[in-house]
């Protein structure tokens, strides 16, 4: 039996769930893995959490450094989130010879390079299974299960809040703000939902997957990221008519030394498994060699689900000899302007002759060709939607053409542009 003494910093929702799960399942873990997990001390800067610690008969401190300095603690589990003081606490823990487990995707996206290189230099282990897709063992699957694989493409639904909102809009024919309210009511969205709906949370996780698959920490502020707040019910309905669903996808594609990374609302063919990911679930689709296509699906957030990932990390640290080493590959991150793709465009235009000719002229001047056009309503009095599918074209050309089209008097700007991925 290997005994691992842990210290937990942060007793919020996730921290509490980890305490519950360890209480409930640590005998199961010991039986299966021969690793005995002992909680040496727990910490929260809110001194009131002492009560919670007492409930579990655990030693409590409101000073994280008391845990970090404790020579008996083998593993520090950081569950406070945010950039500082989390970064400082993790770095100090590593320096003091402790292994670290963290669920902090924002911190890893910003400071992953520094933290991983420090851990590697000191021969320490870092567990971060909980940082991407909660309960799905995606970190272990990629780093160990697919250790011999090249990952050519990643398509991830990495944020449950946005998936819930898009799912609700499509299912119940409601607009964005009603769906957001429902998400907040159900506890799937924060009161300030920007981190989720603007795509930042998904981007944080994409950065971690990029490190895992390609050894590259992208400068996350430079990666293109677009949220879902501008997706209207009209777009969801029109996409459905064309046999697509709109999903917020985190995308990575590696080709000839170039890496295309982005987070954006995307039209996904309705029969693809990613299109059927419902509610607040997460999923990661991988196109690999030699393992082929893979999809992983499960609960992406919530303390209870996340606690499974934390237990797995503890056992991994206790029972394997080393972190898998990643060497940075020579990949250049592509500028989104140079990315080619197919697009869905929705114009709101006056319903009169000549409009389509004006639009087509501007597109053809930039060598952009139209795959299909649909005008659903007829109404001479007001602006009506014109839905266009564009053959493969460069993002930059599309954006330029649309901004020119949006200046036409017959167009109620701004037009909607959504990328199509023919998975």
Under rule CB under 8 A, residue 396 binds a second copy: no
Instruction: Kindly state the number of chain residues that form the binding site for a second copy, as judged by CB under 8 A.
Output: 60
Minimum gap (Å) between residue 117 Cβ and a second copy: 16
Do residues 285 and 423 lie in contact, with contact meaning Cβ atoms separated by under 8 Å? Answer: yes
Under rule CB under 8 A, residue 120 binds a second copy: no
**Cβ closest to a second copy, residue 271 vs residue 392:** 271
Under rule CB under 8 A, residue 232 binds a second copy: no
- Contact segment (CB under 8 A) with a second copy among 54-62, 83-91, 249-257, 308-316 equals 308-316
Residues 41, 98, 205, 253: which is the catalytic one?
Answer: 205
Under rule CB under 8 A, residue 122 binds a second copy: no
Under rule CB under 8 A, residue 3 binds a second copy: no
Interhelix angle for 160-172 vs 176-185, to 10°?
A: 120
Which listed residue (8, 14, 17, 393) binds a second copy by CB under 8 A? 17
Under rule CB under 8 A, residue 226 binds a second copy: no
Which listed residue (304, 373, 410, 423) binds a second copy by CB under 8 A? 304
3 state DSSP class of 183: helix
The vertex-95 CA angle with 92 and 101, nearest 5°, equals 70
Is residue 49 part of the annotated active site? The answer reads no
3 state DSSP class of 322: coil
Under rule CB under 8 A, residue 150 binds a second copy: yes
Minimum gap (Å) between residue 155 Cβ and a second copy: 13
Which listed residue (123, 145, 187, 414) binds a second copy by CB under 8 A? 145
DSSP character at residue 274: G
**CB atoms closer than 10 angstroms to residue 35:** 19
Under rule CB under 8 A, residue 235 binds a second copy: no
Under rule CB under 8 A, residue 276 binds a second copy: yes
Contacts with 104 (C-beta within 8 Å, 6 or more apart), sequence order:
78, 79, 80, 81, 82, 86, 131
Under rule CB under 8 A, residue 118 binds a second copy: no
Max alpha carbon distance in the chain (Å)? Answer: 80
**CB atoms closer than 10 angstroms to residue 260:** 19
Query: 23 to 62, contacts with a second copy by CB under 8 A?
Result: 24-26, 28-29, 31-34
Which listed residue (104, 161, 308, 415) binds a second copy by CB under 8 A? 308
Distances (CA, A) of 205 to 222, 258, 259: 15, 20, 16
Distances (CA, A) of 155 to 4, 118, 119, 264: 36, 30, 29, 11
At 100, give phi and psi (nearest 5°): -130, 140
**Cβ closest to a second copy, residue 10 vs residue 64:** 10
Minimum gap (Å) between residue 151 Cβ and a second copy: 11
- Contact segment (CB under 8 A) with a second copy among 7-15, 73-81, 324-332, 352-360 equals 324-332
Place of tokens 């008391």: 66
Strands 75-78 and 2-9: parallel
Which listed residue (321, 330, 378, 409) binds a second copy by CB under 8 A? 321
Minimum gap (Å) between residue 23 Cβ and a second copy: 11
Cis peptide preceding 45, ω within 30 of 0: no
Under rule CB under 8 A, residue 243 binds a second copy: no
DSSP symbols for 326-372:
-PPP--EEPPGGG-EEEEEEEEEEESSTTHHHHHHHHHHHTT--EEE
Half-sphere exposure of 198 (CA within 13 A, CB side): 6
Tell me how far apart the alpha carbons of residues 171 and 166 are, in angstroms, rounded to a whole number: 9
Under rule CB under 8 A, residue 140 binds a second copy: yes
Minimum gap (Å) between residue 216 Cβ and a second copy: 14
Under rule CB under 8 A, residue 319 binds a second copy: yes
Q: What would the two tokens of residue 340 be?
A: 């080619």
Positions touching a second copy (CB under 8 A) are: 17, 21, 24-26, 28-29, 31-34, 129, 135-137, 140-141, 143-150, 271, 273, 276-278, 281, 288, 290-299, 302, 304-305, 307-309, 311-312, 315-316, 319-322, 324-327
């Amino acid at each position: 039996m290997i005994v691992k003494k842990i210290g937990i910093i942060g007793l919020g929702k996730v921290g509490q769930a980890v305490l519950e799960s360890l209480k409930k399942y640590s005998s199961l873990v010991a039986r299966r893995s021969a690793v005995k997990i002992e909680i040496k001390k727990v910490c929260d800067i809110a001194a009131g959490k002492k009560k919670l610690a007492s409930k579990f008969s655990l030693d409590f401190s409101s000073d994280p450094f008391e845990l970090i300095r404790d020579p008996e603690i083998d593993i520090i589990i950081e569950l406070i989130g945010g950039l500082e003081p989390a970064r400082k606490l993790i770095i100090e823990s590593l320096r003091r010879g402790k292994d670290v487990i963290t669920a902090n995707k924002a911190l890893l996206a910003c400071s992953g390079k520094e933290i991983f290189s420090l851990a590697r230099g000191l021969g320490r282990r870092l567990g971060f299974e909980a940082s991407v897709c909660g309960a799905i063992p995606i970190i272990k699957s990629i780093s160990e299960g697919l250790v011999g694989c090249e990952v050519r493409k990643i398509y991830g639904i990495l944020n449950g809040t946005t998936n819930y909102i898009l799912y609700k809009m499509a299912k119940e024919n409601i607009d964005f703000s009603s769906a957001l309210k429902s998400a907040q009511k159900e506890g799937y969205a924060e009161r300030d939902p920007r981190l989720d709906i603007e795509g930042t949370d998904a981007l944080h996780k994409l950065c971690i997957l990029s490190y895992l698959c390609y050894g590259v920490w992208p400068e996350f502020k430079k990666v293109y990221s677009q949220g879902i707040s501008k997706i209207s019910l009209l777009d969801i309905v029109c996409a459905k008519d064309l046999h697509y669903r709109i999903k917020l996808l985190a995308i990575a594609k590696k080709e000839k030394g170039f890496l295309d990374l982005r987070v954006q609302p995307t039209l996904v063919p309705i029969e693809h498994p990613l299109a059927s990911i419902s509610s607040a679930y997460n999923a990661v689709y991988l196109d690999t060699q030699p393992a082929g296509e893979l999809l992983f699906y499960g609960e992406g957030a919530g303390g209870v689900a996340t606690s499974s990932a934390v237990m797995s990390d503890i056992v991994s640290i206790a029972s394997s000899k080393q972190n898998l080493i990643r060497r940075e590959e020579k990949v250049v991150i592509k500028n989104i302007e140079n990315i080619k793709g197919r697009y869905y465009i929705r114009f709101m235009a006056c319903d009169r002759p000549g409009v389509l000719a004006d639009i087509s002229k501007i597109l053809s001047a930039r060598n952009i060709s139209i795959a299909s056009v649909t005008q659903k309503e007829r109404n001479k009095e007001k602006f009506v939607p014109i839905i266009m599918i564009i053959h493969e074209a460069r993002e930059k050309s599309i954006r330029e053409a649309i901004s020119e089209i949006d200046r036409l008097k017959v167009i109620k700007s701004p037009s909607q542009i959504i990328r199509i991925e023919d998975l």
